[in-house]
Structures are given as structure tokens and as C-alpha cells.
Amino acid sequence: MARKVILDMDPGTDDALALLLALSSPELELLGVTTVAGNTSLENTSINARRVLEHVGRGEVPVYRGASGPLARALVTAEHVHGSDGLGGVGLSAPREAPREGAVEFIAGKVYEDPGEVVLIATGPLTNLALLFARYPDVPRLLGELIIMGGAYFQTHYGRGNVTPIAEFNIYNDPEAAQMVINPSVRPHCVGLDVTMNPAGWLGSSEVEKLSRSGSVKARLAARLVQYHVERAGHMEVHDVVAVAAAVDSSMFEWKEMVVEVLTCGEVARGVTAPRRPRSAEAPNAVVCVDADWEWFKGMLLERLMG
């Protein structure tokens, strides 16, 4: 039976690619998309989610707008990475249907409808989730699973920051939210830069060529998204796609339980996800990804998008 999934995201080129993978995976039933400001403004992320869904013929999937900024800080965006519209200027049509309001209420409603069954995959700042847990304190124990793309946990050579030397973008953007969400009652599966910055998982010109030759609308859109980054950096880092792949088959990843402290004080330490020794009888509050089967990942991704 397919896993019931909600994507909480800030599209973003790699979010868009993650959305395409979710739509292409029979293991996942996408209940809806909730949006948050991050890679670009909430207006852009919400419209981008609808643009992608409608472009590939999945306009029936609802999109709900969430938080327009962090809990206690100014928003930091990444248009320098994702383009002024957040989608690399790939030229998708304006959506026919506007995004709806009420991301937090939508997630809570779906969780209450199917307790223990909903998998929430968060690939942006964790503001929506912090608001969800604050307003509906019983939701964390009713979630089937929470998968986060965020953090750098210093577990591999790649586990360093991408917005500061020691902090990852999503956690850095709203560390107070991350502090609320990464806790023992939820114990999220965290896919961070320790794995996503491994070049073995990046996409490049060869993937663009394969995707471009496909007759699939999803593959052709994916090719344009990847090509945008290839032209600028020589490759595309697919952080958010890895989080969705973990929902498809977590056995293709290596995980490590640990206690993680999210630092919020001071600009130097802001957004650091610091592993530490557990105190007496302290339970792990996160399950951190430390490796992946990249051959499986790339093969699965291309097969799904071109299928």
C-alpha cells in the first residue's frame, strides 16, 4: 500500500525535482503540498508548486500556503542559487488555480484523519512544522514519520555548512523552528549535507541528455531544471530529492540515532545542528542519514522520471 505523503517545501529547483519524484513513485500517495518561504518568497514558492503540478497534469493535488517568514528572524532567500522566480526561469505557465490558505490546518486535518499513517517530508525551513506542533501538540505522536532535509551533522567529510561554514540553509533560516521540531517525541529522520553534498549523488550533463531524450513531460522538465544548474555550476546538488528518495526506500540509506542540539544564539553558531553525547537516560531526538546507495538513487530517479 502506498504511503500517504505531504510535502512541506519552498520550491526552489531541487524542491521541484523532489516533487516530480514524489509524483512518479507508486510507493507514495501525495495528499498535498504545503509551502513556506525559504529559497524564495512565499508568493513564489506557492505559485511554483502549482506551476509544476499543473505542467505535469497533476493539478488536482492541492497546494496550501504556510509561513511567509521565520518565527523570530528576517527571511534569508536563495534566488542567487535558484533564479529570481525560484525555478531557474524555466518558463512554466502561470497556474490556473491559486494556492489555498491554511497549510498548518491542512496538515493537522490529514494527520487526524489517518493517525499513524501520514509521512511528512519537509524540504524547506521548518516554520510550518513548528507552528503545527505549537497549535496541535498531539500531532507529533500521530505522525507516521517525519523526514527533514536539513542540517549538517559533521558525520562525514561533506557534513559542513552551505550558508555559513557550519550551518545548512534550511536550519539557518529558522533555527528556533528547528529547535522545536527536532525533539524526542518526533525523532525525525534527518537528511543533511553529510550525504547530499556527496558528488556521487549530483546530477550533470549526462543526466540532462538522458532526461531530454525522454518523451515524459516530467523528465523534460527535470532536464531543464538540472540544465539551469549545469550551466552555472557544472552540476546540480539535489538535496531535497534525496529526502523524498528516503521515503521511497529508507533501506537504501544508512542511518544513525543521535542527540542533536540546534543552536540559536549568536551569528556564528546560528543554525548549527550539533551532535552531542546524551545525558543520563536521554533519548535520541534524531535519526541522521550518514550514507546512501548512490547507484540505486540515480538509477531510480531517472527511471521514475522517464517512465
Residues catalogued as catalytic: 239
Return the DSSP state at 200.
G
Beta strands in the chain (DSSP E): 3-9, 28-35, 63-65, 100-101, 118-122, 145-149, 189-191, 253-262, 273-276, 286-292
Instruction: For residue 50, give Cα distances in angstroms to 31, 64, 108, 207, 295.
Output: 14, 10, 21, 25, 31
Measured in degrees and rounded to the nearest 5, phi and psi for residue 33 equal: -120, 130
User: Residue 103, SS3?
Assistant: helix
C-alpha cell at 255: 542511518
> Would you state the cell numbers that stand for residue 146, as one nine-digit string?
517525519
Question: Hunting for cell 535520541 — which residue is that?
Answer: 284
CA-to-CA distance for 14 and 241, rounded, in angstroms?
7
* CB neighbour list of residue 155: distance below 8 Å, 6 or more residues apart: 194, 256, 275, 288, 290
> What are the backbone angles phi and psi of residue 179, rounded to the nearest 5°?
-60, -35
Cell readout for 69 is 517568514
What is the spatial distance between Cα 25 and Cα 304, in angstroms, rounded to a whole number?
7
Cα–Cα dist 24/77, whole Å: 28
Angle, in degrees to the nearest 10, between helices 217-233 and 294-306:
130
